[in-house]
Structure 1
Amino acid sequence: MKDIQENQAAKEKSVIRETDGQARILAKELVRTARFGALAAIEPGTSYPLASRVAVATDLDGTPIILTSTLSGHTSAILANPACSLLVGEPGKGDPLAHPRISLFCKARRIERETEEHARVRRRYLSRHPKAELYADFGDFSFFALTLERASLNGGFGKAFELVREDLLAPVSDVHAWAAMETGAVGHMNEDHVDAIKLYAEVLVKAGEANWRMACLDPEGLDLAAGDKVARLWFKEQLADPGLLRETLVALALQARNQD
């Protein structure tokens, strides 16, 4: 009996591939480009899993951010028990199980109003979901950070990985400096450099023609949005200092023009 159990355990373990750089990028891209996800939490009073759809954005380091109302069942669930999971990854044509998705195991934390963190995540969330500005400041709405514990990545048939938080998050040495830089840089790019943004999306990312704008910046790359479309452009190297951003964006625009 013991041999059977050991063989079964070894068989199950062999299904999981060794986490490599490609798996980490895929996992991060699924999270960074997600517009929505399925949030699963434990329903208070019944102990049944409660799954509901939520709109998603990310903080500078890649931590998922959601905005919920106290009228929603999942809000009372994560307030009573912060342990939850978030499934992201949109299916495309054909078999939905052939498309990548990732389950994030998290602890929900409500973000206090009138704080620097609240201002930062509010700005980043609304850059992805601008229509949410109509209700984001209502008294019964709150932003929650879904603090990552670990994740299960399914990159398609036969491509399963187990990831830890270090595989998913980008180190941010100075959150205040990055947040201040992002606010000005995103506004400046969208006002004065629409041509460069178009090159980023259509030439470097090959995301197709659209009215692209820059949504967010972080040490590892930038998010581009056009209506319901979201695209991610990764920097060649993670930026240790926000002061390196300008020359990086200029270099990317030059690269795109040379490829165009």
Structure 2
Amino acid sequence: MSAKAARQARELLLKEYRGVLSTHSKSMPGFPFGSVVPYCLDADGNPLILISRIAQHTHNLQKDPKCSLLVGERDAEDVQAVGRLTVMAEAHKLADPEAIEAAAGRYYRYFPESSQYHSAHDFDFWVLRPVRHRYIGGFGAIHWLDDVTLANPFAGKAEVSMVEHMNDDHANAIAHYVELSGLPASAPASLVGIDTEGMHLRIGQGLHWLAFPRSCNTPIQVREALVLLARAEQWPDREAVEG
């Protein structure tokens, strides 16, 4: 059960792209301070955020890096009946130039508008390294989880190559994924990320994650999954496929 709950918690992190970051207030000691932040997952599967040096939550993290990120299913009519995840973590500001470059390359694909204000203002990348997770999958489905994160074997050149290839040469396939999965067709979709378990599409300002029929650990397996989905008449049920 814990393995299934860990996968569901990880998929919730992948499906969403914004959450409530809670930090220890510097100006009001003893009180938690909540703020909304967009995020994507880094190469190690940890939440990656880009925050301003003058923001209150940044000042709080500089004094005490212990924090949490609350993520819930978007557009839920009953928030207590759907999944939500609290990631208890320690925040670390990226300082190594290579780490910053890797973070920027990934983050800007997900949030391209951020590159403009990042270059014009004082923003830094921070990674939230999980200590423990609290996942609630609905009424009665409550779990403490220690092992949720999963490293992305494609992060870097392999992922960039696959993403660019799909966007440049297979726009029709991406449009088919949108139609097949029932995602909004309000704007042309582009592929922005690939991980072991699925792919991220950007439609307008929104991000959407779609699960592969099976986990993919090599670029060849990813290609096979993308071809299968391009020819599918309905989106495969991953749990039914994997049994």
* TM-score bin (small chain): 0.7 to 0.9
Give aligned-pair identity as a percent. Answer: 29
Q: Give deviations 1:6-49, integer Å, cap 9, x for gaps.
A: xxxxxxxxxxxx4242x233211221122211101112252321
2:174 matches 1:169: no
Q: 1:151 aligns with which of 129, 133, 136?
A: 133
**Residue in structure 2 matched with residue 123 of structure 1 by the alignment:** 105
In the alignment, the residues of structure 1 paired with residue 59 and residue 235 of structure 2 have an alpha-carbon distance, to the nearest angstrom, of 53
Q: Where do residues 89-100 of structure 1 align in structure 2 (5 Å cutoff)?
A: 89-100=72-83
Give ranges in structure 2 of 5+ residues lacking alignment.
Answer: 237-243
- 1:121: Cα distance to partner? 1.9
The alpha carbon displacement at 1:192 in A equals 1.7
CA distance in 2, matches of 1:96, 1:228: 23
Alignment of 1:2-21 (within 5 A): 18-21=1-4
Q: Does 1:215 align with 2:198?
A: no
Deviations 1:54-88 (A, max 9, x none): 11111134211110011101111112211110001
Taking the aligned partners of 2:95 and 2:223, their CA distance within structure 1 comes to: 32
**Alignment CA distance shift 1:95-1:163 (3 Å):** same
What root-mean-square deviation, in Å, do the aligned CA atoms of Structure 1 and Structure 2 show?
A: 2.4
- Partner of 2:156, secondary structure, is helix
Matched to 1:238, the amino acid is S
- Aligned partners of 2:16 and 2:74 also within 8 Å: no
Contact kept? 2:166, 2:191, Cα under 8 Å: yes
What is residue 40 of structure 1 aligned with on the other side? 22
Deviation, 1:142, is: 0.3
Q: Distance in 2 between matches of 1:105 and 1:88?
A: 11
Shift of 1:226: 0.5
Offset of 1:243 from its aligned partner?
Answer: 4.8
Which of 65, 82, 93 in structure 2 is aligned with 1:110?
93
**Contact 1:61–1:170 (8 Å) recurs in 2:** yes
1:198: which partner in 2? 175
The secondary structure found in structure 2 opposite 1:135 is helix
What amino acid is aligned across from residue 28 of structure 1 in structure 2? Answer: R
Counterpart residue identity of residue 43, structure 1: S
**Inter-CA distance 169–132: structure 2 relative to 1 (3 Å threshold):** same
Q: Distance in 2 between matches of 1:202 and 1:160?
A: 33
Is residue 92–residue 126 contact of structure 2 (8 Å, CA) maintained in 1?
Answer: yes
* Total equivalences in the alignment: 234
Q: What TM-score do you get using the length of structure 1 for normalisation? A: 0.80
- Partner of 1:130, secondary structure, is coil
2:46 match: 63
> AA paired with 2:69?
L
For structure 1, the 5+ residue unaligned runs are 1-17
Find the aligned partners of 1:69 and 1:225 in 2 and give their Cα distance: 24
* Shift in CA distance, 91/246, structure 1 to aligned 2, threshold 3 Å: closer
